Amino acid sequence: MKNYFSSNFKLGVLGGGQLGKMLLTETQKFDIYTCILDATYEAPCAQICNEFHLGDLMDFDTVYNFGKKVNLLTIEIEHVNIEALQKLEEEGLEIYPQPSVLKTIQHKGKQKDFFVKNNIPTSPHKRFTSLDQLKKETLAFPFVWKSAQFGYDGTGVKIVKNQNDLNSLTNTDCIVEDLIPFKNELAVIVARNKNGETKTYPVVEMEFHPEANQVEYVICPARISENVAQKARNIALKVANSFEHIGLLAVEMFQTKDDEIIVNEVAPRTHNSGHYSIEASYTSQFEQHLRSILNLPLGNTDSKVAGIMVNLVGEEGFSGNVVYQNIEEILKMDGVTPHIYGKKQTRPFRKMGHVTIVNNDLSEARKIAENVKNTIRVISK
């Protein structure tokens, strides 16, 4: 086995946001030397990694030259230059998740086609190269429109209810999906290493903000039957094994009215739906990501206690230097741990941090989570 610990080994990470920052907690725990590439010195990782490199993640030369400086490369965001990664891989650099996997997942149309080809249950869809092409098609309202690339946190996703909604869409490569009535939005994180060892985290349930289309609460374990939970874990494993993906894969799903599970989309990295694991699990998703990409034995994914995560996002009407109002009030509450991402500037709905609530009783944790949500405010000076 390679010596990754207290050695000359350099781990490269494309992206220096909050996911990278939480990953650095684990690289520091293991004393793994970590190099970060990000487009801004304001990135949450900039001041705390071993080496920080400034540059555009979508620029071929920047990504290629960064890759030449490290021994293994991973990502914390999937919007990266795939051609540079493919060339680095051809030249012998280990890159996880693999560039071929990223290329498919990066494009929502290719991702959906992959599900269909591999008999993974998903909602019916059609692909379009532009809004003009989409308008020529006769489609029944309502339907779900998704930009094929570069969407995130509700950006690039719209429910189209009428002609006005249709006219307001961006003219871009896109997919259209049937609007599926569902009971719950669920997610399962799967870890898979080079040896093919796989582990799933418990199924989590997501509650969404009605306007921002952002997750407000992630609840672990999901309040569903064991039968549905097992079905969700099996499908998530099938997705990871079909991709032969190495690293962490977050599989977002719908539980339909008939208790069927269909896959919505996947993220090939640590994910918002796994943040609860830092406090609630035996092995956090960030430690597990390291274990998987370094081909180390995977850790125990069980929860020690019930966990609920509350996203901290910028309040509407506030932009500028961030202030976390009433943070001392939530620190008085049992089992409450805030995580502040280190973004100095807030704006409406920007992800600024999260709070984890752990408790032996899930319903009690949910009450405390509501209290946290109603107490702390992310505003500006």
Per-residue pLDDT tens digits for 214-231: 778 999 999 999 999 999
pLDDT for residue 100? 98
pLDDT for residue 151? 72
Mean pLDDT of 28-49: 97
pLDDT for residue 2? 87
Amino acid sitting at position 68: K
pLDDT for residue 36? 98
pLDDT for residue 153? 62
Sequence ranges of the binding site for ATP:
108, 146, 177-180, 185, 264-265
Domains along the sequence of the chain with CATH: 10-95 (3.40.50.20), 124-178 (3.30.1490.20), 182-380 (3.30.470.20)
Mean pLDDT of 301-324: 97
Residue 266 has pLDDT above 70, yes or no: yes
Omega of the bond leading into 97 within 30 degrees of 0 (cis):
yes
pLDDT-based confidence at residue 145 (cuts at 50, 70, 90):
very high
The C-alpha atoms of residue 256 and residue 236 are separated, in whole angstroms, by 16
Mean pLDDT of 129-133: 92
- pLDDT one-digit tens code per residue, 95-127: 999 999 999 999 999 999 999 999 999 999 999
- pLDDT one-digit tens code per residue, 316-333: 999 999 999 999 999 999
Sequence ranges of the binding site:
108, 146, 177-180, 185, 264-265
Residue 286 has pLDDT above 80, yes or no: yes
- pLDDT one-digit tens code per residue, 48-90: 999 999 999 999 999 999 999 999 999 999 999 999 999 999 9
What's the pTM value of the predicted model, to 2 decimals? 0.95
Residue found by looking up tokens 């505003």 in the block: 379
- pLDDT one-digit tens code per residue, 149-170: 877 666 788 999 999 999 999 8
Residue 211 has pLDDT above 80, yes or no: no
Mean pLDDT of 256-267: 96
**Between these two residues, 210 and 179, which has the higher pLDDT value?**
179
Mean pLDDT of the chain: 95
pLDDT for residue 213? 66
Mean pLDDT of 196-220: 89
Pairing of strands 10-14, 33-38: parallel
pLDDT for residue 273? 96
